[in-house]
Amino acid sequence: MKLITNRVYGAEDILPADVYKWQFVEDVMRGEAMSYGFKEIRTPVFEHTELFNRSVGDTTDIVQKEMYTFDTKGGDSISLKPEGTAGAARAMLEHGIYNDGYPIKVYYLTACYRYEKKNFGRQREFHQFGMEIYGAASPFADAEVMCAANSVFQRLDVKNISLEINSIGCPECRPKYTAALREYFTSHEEELCDTCRSRLQRNPMRILDCKSPVCSEIAKNAPKVLDYLCDDCNKHFDEVKSCLDAAGIAYKVNPTIVRGLDYYTRTVFEFVAPEIGTVCGGGRYDGLIEELGGQHTPSLGFGMGIERLLLLLKTQNIEIPAPPSCDLYVIGLGDKAKLRALRLVQEVRNASLIAECDIVGRTLKAQMKYANKIKSRFLIVIGDSELEKGSATLKDMETGKEIPISIGDGFFDEFISAYVSVDHDEEDIPLNF
């Protein structure tokens, strides 16, 4: 039978056979964020388009070419979020989270959307892990977010990933650099793509981020931003490097990093892997909150692509622990035995262990095969004689050992005793035992 429709181009299904990998990586991300004192924030998948025009920048590729934008029935322009920072900043302002006192430290795991060509490690729907700090001007904050990102990579045992950093200045020194860029690119104006020619007067720094091979080649000889930093920006960048040195985080200065979003100021950084390129990027956006209508609030953070990180783990042959398998499968032969099987598995499930019994009407032989398929550690078969005796045999499917076990009031305690006696330490037992 022909399917009515397939998934939309650029979006992927995450199937049960693979979702445990996502869950493991997300758990690592949550754990590291919490260890740095960050709290989760969840924002809508769509926002008013103006938010992204003002924050991301209307001269960026994201706004000009990649956003999914549509009008609602009420006539409002709405866009699917292309990145996570703008929504988090909007929520911080709208709900007055700043009244809790600075610094505000939040993290998110969210889906994002960009209309771009699907290629290696990039989808039109993708997922992002981000960490944001609001109200911290200190270079120690810059180092903290980079340390946090690095901690995720360390926990996952990622190899050969390098931190590259740069400073793109502030509103005081940026105009001189912008003027130098405009002068340089004007001499190559006829060679630039149409998009970059339109950027030449409004925001020539965006030309540095163009994906066109011709524009990229021209940009290689463009003036370097580090030559135009003011004293304050130079001092801040030097202090960031000192903090990273103190934290033992290796890095290299890459003066070509500008990032693809207009809200960045001063520190920008990327974590780059030779196999797939940039996996994580971020920096400072001290003017973002003010641009959105709030008070001047020094802010910074990063976004990490989860699809790209998972691809990197696969490329480096880093194994993700397999999900837990079934702890107990109970076979009931006959109507009364099936009801008893259901009762026993519920007792085990109430203790946060995994237990199953038949729900599709399989034969005994088929249930035995199914128990093996789901790698159940223990098996119990209940028939009329077991019901009459009030006991059955608990079989360890890994060793073949058989243990008499009550299927009445003493079942749970006896099962837990057997569960602990195999290869489980007492500290591994769920708390509600």
Cβ atoms of residues 186 and 218 within 8 Å: no
Residue 20 neighbours by CB distance under 10 Å:
14
More confident residue, 54 or 414: 414
Rounded CA separation 299/302 (Å): 11
279 and 120 in contact (C-beta within 8 Å)? Answer: no
Determine the average pLDDT of the residues in 379-398: 96
Convert the pLDDT of each residue in 104-158 to its tens digit.
999 999 999 999 877 767 789 999 999 999 999 999 999 999 999 999 999 999 9
Collapsed DSSP state (helix, strand, coil) of residue 318: coil
H-helix or E-strand spanning residue 411: helix 411-421
13-68 residue pLDDT tens: 999 999 999 999 999 999 999 999 999 999 999 999 999 988 887 666 677 778 99
Is the pLDDT at 368 greater than 50, yes or no?
A: yes
Q: What is the pLDDT of residue 426?
A: 47
End-to-end CA, the chain: 48
Q: Is 293 left (phi over 0), alpha (psi -120 to 50) or beta?
A: left
Whole-structure pTM value? 0.88
Q: How confident is residue 294, by pLDDT bands cut at 50, 70 and 90?
A: very high
Domain at 328-428: CATH code = 3.40.50.800
Q: Are 42 and 108 in contact (CB under 8 A)?
A: yes
Distance CA 107, CA 189 (A): 41
Taking the C-alpha atoms of residue 167 and residue 283, their distance in angstroms, rounded to an integer, is: 9
pLDDT score of 89 = 95
How sure is the predictor about 216, in pLDDT bands with cuts at 50, 70 and 90?
Answer: confident
Query: What is the residue extent of each domain of the chain?
Result: 16-173+229-315, 328-428
DSSP secondary structure string for all residues of 237-261? HHHHHHHHHHHT---EE-TT---S-
The pair of structure tokens assigned to 155 is: 């926990």
Q: What pLDDT is stored for residue 423 in this prediction?
A: 62
DSSP state of 206: G
- Band (pLDDT 50/70/90 cuts) for residue 260 is low
In 136-223, which ranges are E strands? 162-167
Angle separating helix axes 174-186 and 194-202, nearest 10 degrees: 140
85 pLDDT more than 70 = yes
Give the 3-state secondary structure of 176-235: HHHHHHHHHHHCCHHHCCHHHHHHHHHCHHHHHHCCCHHHHHHHCCCCCHHHHCCHHHHH
Ordered alpha helix ranges (H), 350-395? 364-373, 384-389
With vertex at residue 207, the alpha carbon angle to CA 117 and CA 269, rounded to the nearest 5 degrees, is: 80
* H helix runs in 304-396, sequence order: 306-315, 335-349, 364-373, 384-389
Of the candidates 411, 421, 379, the one whose C-alpha atom is nearest the C-alpha of residue 397 is 379
Q: Is the peptide bond before 171 cis (omega within 30 degrees of 0)?
A: no
Looking at residue 422, what is its pLDDT?
Answer: 76
Question: Tokens representing 274?
Answer: 């030779």
Give the CATH number of domain 16-173+229-315.
Answer: 3.30.930.10
Q: Please state, for a pLDDT cut of 90, what percent of the chain lies above it.
A: 75
